């Protein structure tokens, strides 16, 4: 009979289930890109003003060389947790490319370059620049007026003029080779106001991107204006571009100004929507229109709205088709879209060795016993080793593991050294620990619910999405982890975990016999080399961490145990 170390299992379960020991750290941001990543305004030197920068710690030099984000690089992340709809537009993609495609509505202007080819009785291949009079000069033909001609009529205009001189046997093809270069002012609530070069055929987005984009904290995505001589030539609503693809394409001229107005009223929308963000709106906009921009999910049933009305705060909870959503939005509204359905049935999958269906739809209150009544075992089914996997358990295990890793990472980053020798030692230690943390972050827990021997299945309520796996009867024992020869062995009576470890060559130097776990198919875990092993069990040997070499050995051991229990694998330092 297996000896169960109930105290050990209870302590591990408490560790996994109680996050009180884990402190939540602020989210990390990657270091901001250098100023060289985006062009500076034409003729303007980069700013070099004084900045209040925290004094680097002893670890900062090491972090700079390894790419690790240190405490001195953590910044405020309000916009990361509550992004502004539209701020993803300006990532440098518009700035890198100028528009050089065929635009039939483009109006030929002074400075444009026209490519002209003539063949037949007269052979010519020319690149002609539109002069200050709006003409291009064609040899043996004379000036041809092309200024203010739409691009789609350019070839026709030039051909008619040439054929007035050469009546026959001359082919003509004229096309716009390059739009005139322009310089456009970008001002208002953008990241880097200034004068930027481009082409007359470029879009307003190109110049906004070169100016670093709209400032998401202060700028408007609904009020972008193209000014010429103090007059509004075009007005752009970037929400229409993002949701409908509509973007005005005014032809730019030298000295034009792209002006971004201040941000207007906004609401926050979250929940079952495609875009969780803050949404700017114009006065008179109704709530339903904003939900349409946010992309409300087909699963949504209700909308919860919180609104500040003077000194008090009102709350509303209405169905998605309620007329209340056709009323005007108010600045500061917080809207959450939810699914408020009465769940009547759940779906459960059955995998492994059995002769019944793979999926079952059960009443909401169904238990494991209800499911087992419908399953037909095969001759090879191991009904004593049933494995129950649950998505919510896996998510919780991952959350606790991430919190533990974050705690360990913060401890390493915030460690202080008092001598240069200690600083060098801590830097090497930190490099190893942070590499271990990055590998551990990739591990996905299985979410197994332990079904200990003798448990009453009628006491285990099922959840939607549960997976019950029925293992095949096996007389094999797997030994892995910190052993010399990880392998699978035929089960023998009265052999304990230590016997199987010896068959695998014994433990490595970085482990010991008290780090041996025996994991049954149902998920039960016992510890110690003297634990008797049953058919189908796994013997897992965990590594030890030298407390003399690693300052954070206790935290590392905690992570190793969590990973072994939640994912059934050994994470090595």
Residue 207 belongs to a domain with what CATH number? Answer: 3.10.560.10
Inter-helix orientation angle 6-17/391-413, to 10°: 80
In a domain, 497, yes or no: no
Residue 283 lies in a domain: yes
Residue 193 included in any domain: yes
Q: Which of 296, 314, 338 is the last residue of a domain?
A: 338
Give the CB-side neighbour count of residue 545, counting CA atoms within 13 A: 20
- Could you tell me which residues come within 8 angstroms of residue 222 by beta carbon, excluding any fewer than 6 positions away? 237, 238, 239, 264, 280, 281, 282
Query: Whole-angstrom Cα distance, residue 284 to residue 192?
Result: 32
The CA distance from 361 to 347, in Å, is 5
Cβ count near 230 (within 10 Å): 6
Query: What pLDDT sits at residue 169?
Result: 81
Across the strands, what pairs with 345? 363
Question: How much is the CA Rg of the chain, to the nearest whole Å?
Answer: 35
Output phi, psi for 487, to 5 deg: -165, 175
Q: Tell whether 243 is covered by a domain.
A: yes
Burial class (CB in 10 A: 0-12, 13-18, 19+), 466: buried
Give the dihedral sign, CA 563/567/572/573.
negative
Q: Report d(CA 336, CA 270) in Å as an integer.
A: 5
CA distances from 51 to 157, 180, 197, 296 (A): 59, 40, 29, 43
Rounded CA gap, 199 and 187, in Å?
18
Query: Where a domain ends, among 221, 244, 262?
Result: 262
Centre a 10 Å sphere on the Cβ of residue 9 and count the other Cβ atoms it contains: 17
Query: pLDDT 10s digit of each residue in the chain, 573 long?
Result: 343 333 333 333 333 333 333 333 333 333 334 333 333 334 333 333 333 333 343 433 433 444 433 333 333 333 445 789 999 999 888 888 776 555 677 788 888 888 888 888 788 888 888 898 889 999 888 899 988 888 788 888 888 888 888 877 888 888 887 767 789 999 999 999 999 998 888 889 999 999 999 999 999 999 999 999 989 999 999 999 999 889 888 888 889 999 999 999 999 999 999 999 999 999 999 999 999 999 999 889 999 999 988 888 899 999 999 999 999 999 999 999 998 877 788 899 999 999 999 999 999 899 999 999 999 999 999 988 898 999 988 888 888 877 877 777 777 666 666 777 767 766 777 777 777 777 777 778 888 888 888 889 999 999 999 999 999 998 899 898 888 888 999 999 889 988 998 898 888 866 566 678 888 888 888 888 888 998 889 898 877 755 545 444 455 555 555 554 555 444 444
Q: To 5 degrees, how large is the angle CA 229–CA 234–CA 238?
A: 135
Q: Across the chain, how many H-helices and E-strands are there?
A: 13, 25
Q: Are residues 273 and 285 in the same domain?
A: yes
Distance CA 513, CA 517 (A): 10
Give the count of domains, the chain: 3
262, 291, 322: which is the final residue of a domain? 262
Q: Do both 237 and 302 map to the same domain?
A: no
**Whether residue 254 is found in the same domain as residue 185:** yes
CA distances from 309 to 47, 288, 306, 312, 315 (A): 43, 20, 10, 5, 10
For residues 141 and 197, membership in a common domain is answered with: no
In this structure, is residue 172 part of a structural domain?
Answer: yes
Q: Kindly provide the b/e burial profile for residues 375-407, where b requires at least 16 CB atoms within 10 angstroms of the residue's own CB.
A: beeeeebbeebbbbbbeebbebbbebbebbbbb
Residue 53, both tokens: 């920068």
Q: Which of 471, 446, 477, 456 is nearest to 522 (CA)?
A: 471
CA atoms within 13 A on the CB side of 323: 0
* Residue 196, domain member (yes or no): yes
Return the CATH number at 164: 3.30.1950.10
pLDDT, residue 316, reads 93
Going across the sheet that includes 467-470, the strands are 359-363, 345-352, 467-470, 387-389, 448-449
Domain check: are 306 and 275 in the same one?
A: yes
Q: How far is CA 136 from CA 83, 111, 563, in A?
A: 51, 10, 75
285 and 296 in a single domain? The answer is yes
Domain range for 171 is: 113-178
Query: Does residue 363 lie in a domain region?
Result: no
pTM of the model as a whole: 0.48
Token reading at 227: 């000014």
Sheet of 124-129, strands arranged across: 124-129, 113-120, 170-178
Residues 205 and 190 in one domain: yes
Contact yes or no for 20/65 (Cβ under 8 A): no
Q: What is the pLDDT of residues 73-130, one digit of tens each?
A: 333 333 445 789 999 999 888 888 776 555 677 788 888 888 888 888 788 888 888 8
Statement to judge: residues 283 and 301 lie in one domain: yes
**In the numeric block, which tokens belong to residue 435?**
């590499």
Give the pairing type, strands 476-481 and 538-541: parallel
What Å distances lie between residue 484 and 180, 526, 545, 566, CA to CA? 72, 22, 18, 24
Question: Could you give the CA distance from residue 33 to residue 406 in angstroms, rounded to a whole number?
Answer: 24
The predicted pLDDT at position 31 comes to: 38
Residue 526 and residue 3 in contact, taking contact as beta carbons nearer than 8 Å:
yes
Determine which helix (DSSP H) or strand (DSSP E) holds 477, and give its type and residue range.
strand 476-481
- Tokens 């009020």 identify what position? 223
In a domain, 332, yes or no: yes
Measure the N-to-C terminal CA separation of the chain; round to a whole number of Å.
35
């Amino acid at each position: 009979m297996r000896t169960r170390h109930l105290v050990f299992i209870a302590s591990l379960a408490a560790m996994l289930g109680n996050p009180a020991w884990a402190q939540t750290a602020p989210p990390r941001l990657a270091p901001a890109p250098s100023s060289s990543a985006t062009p500076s305004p034409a003729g303007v030197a980069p700013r070099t003003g004084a900045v209040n920068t925290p004094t680097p710690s002893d670890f900062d030099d090491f972090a700079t060389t390894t790419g690790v984000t240190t405490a001195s690089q953590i910044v405020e992340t309000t916009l990361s947790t509550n992004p502004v709809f539209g701020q993803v537009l300006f990532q440098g993609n518009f700035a890198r490319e100028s528009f050089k495609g065929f635009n039939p509505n483009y109006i030929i202007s002074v400075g444009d370059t026209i490519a002209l080819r003539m063949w037949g009785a007269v052979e010519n291949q020319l690149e002609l620049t539109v002069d200050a009079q709006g003409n291009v000069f064609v040899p043996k033909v004379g000036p041809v007026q092309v200024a203010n001609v739409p691009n789609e009529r350019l070839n026709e205009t030039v051909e008619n003029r040439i054929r007035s001189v050469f009546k026959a046997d001359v082919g003509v093809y004229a096309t716009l080779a390059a739009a005139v270069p322009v310089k456009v002012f970008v001002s208002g609530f953008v990241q880097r106001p200034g004068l930027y070069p481009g082409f007359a055929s470029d879009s307003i987005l190109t110049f906004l991107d070169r100016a670093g984009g709209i400032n998401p904290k202060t700028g408007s995505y609904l009020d972008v204006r193209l000014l010429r001589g103090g007059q509004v030539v075009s007005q752009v609503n970037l929400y229409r571009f993002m949701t409908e693809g509509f973007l005005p394409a005014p032809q730019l001229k030298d000295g034009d100004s792209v002006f971004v107005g201040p941000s207007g009223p906004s609401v926050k929308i979250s929940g079952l929507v495609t875009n969780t963000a803050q949404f700017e709106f114009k006065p008179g906009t109704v709530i339903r229109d904003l939900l349409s921009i946010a992309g409300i999910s087909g699963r949504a049933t209700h909308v919860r709205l919180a609104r500040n009305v003077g000194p008090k705060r009102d709350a509303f909870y209405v169905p998605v088709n309620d007329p209340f959503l056709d009323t005007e939005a108010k600045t500061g509204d917080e809207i959450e879209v939810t699914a408020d359905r009465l769940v009547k049935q759940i779906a459960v999958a059955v995998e492994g060795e059995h002769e019944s269906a793979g999926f079952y739809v059960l009443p909401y209150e169904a238990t494991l016993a209800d499911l087992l009544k419908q399953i037909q075992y095969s001759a090879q089914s191991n009904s004593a080793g049933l494995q129950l996997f649950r998505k919510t358990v896996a998510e919780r295990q991952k959350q606790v593991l991430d919190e533990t890793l974050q705690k360990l990472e913060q401890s390493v980053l915030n460690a202080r050294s008092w001598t240069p020798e200690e600083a060098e030692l801590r830097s090497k230690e930190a490099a190893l620990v942070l590499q271990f943390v990055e590998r551990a972050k990739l591990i996905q827990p299985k979410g197994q619910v332990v079904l200990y021997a003798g448990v009453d299945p009628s006491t285990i309520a099922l959840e939607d999405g549960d997976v019950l796996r029925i293992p095949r009867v096996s007389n094999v024992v797997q030994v892995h982890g910190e052993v010399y020869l990880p392998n699978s062995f035929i089960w023998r009576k009265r052999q304990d975990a230590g016997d199987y470890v010896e068959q695998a060559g014994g433990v490595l130097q970085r482990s010991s016999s008290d780090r041996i776990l025996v994991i049954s198919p149902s998920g039960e875990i016992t510890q110690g080399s003297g634990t008797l092993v049953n058919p189908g069990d796994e013997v897992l040997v965990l590594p030890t961490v030298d407390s003399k070499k690693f300052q954070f050995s206790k935290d590392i051991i905690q992570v190793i145990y969590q990973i072994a229990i939640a994912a059934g694998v050994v994470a090595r330092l």
